[in-house]
Amino acid sequence: MTSQYRVNYHLRSHKRDNLIEFIKGMLLTPFVLHPHDEESKATQEQENANRYAGIFGSIEMLIDEHRELLQAGIPTHSRLAKLVPSIGTFFTRLPLEAAFRHINRTNRISARKHVPPSFNDIRRILNMAQVMAIAPELQLVT
C-alpha cells in the first residue's frame, strides 16, 4: 500500500521550481495546439523538435536579457523577472536550445504523442545547458 506522503510528494511546494514550471507551461502549448494527424512520424517529430527548440531559444533570450539587466543593476525590469518573480541570478549563459537538441537525440522528447515534457525532462535540459556553458573552461571534475 502506498503512503499518503509518497502519493502527494510531487505536490509539495519545496519540491517545485517556478522557472521549471514556467518552462513546462510554455512547452504545453505546442503539445496541445498541434495534435498529431496522418503526417509521417519523422515529419511530426521534426516539427515538434523545431517548436520545442524555438521555445527554448526564446527562454534563452529571456535569460540573457535578465543577466544583462542584472549586471546593469535593474533585474526587476527584465521580462523573465515579471513572468517568474522568484527568479534568481544566472552566473553563466545557458545554451538551452543546443541542450534540448542534445537531450532530444537520446530521449526523443519530441517524438512523444501522449506525454508532454516532464519536470525531470526540463531539469535534465537545464543541467545539460549548464554543463555545456562551463565545458570550454572546465579542466577537471572530481
The amino acid that residue 36 corresponds to is H
pLDDT at 12 over 70: no
pTM of this prediction? 0.80
CA-nearest of 89, 104, 103, 105 to 131 is: 103
Q: How far is CA 32 from the centre of its chain?
A: 17
Residue 15 burial (CB count, 10 A) = 9
How open is the CA angle 89-26-57, to the nearest 5 degrees? 65
Res. 69: pLDDT tops 70:
yes
Of residues 1 and 110, more confidently modeled: 110
In this predicted model, what pLDDT tens digit does every residue of 51-63 receive, in sequence order?
999 999 999 999 9
Q: Look over the chain and give the mean of its residue pLDDT values, rounded to a whole number.
A: 84
Around 81, how many Cα atoms within 13 Å sit in the side-chain half-sphere?
A: 15
Question: Nearest to residue 83, comparing CAs of 107, 109, 63, 112?
Answer: 63
pLDDT at 106: 93
E strands in 51-132 = none
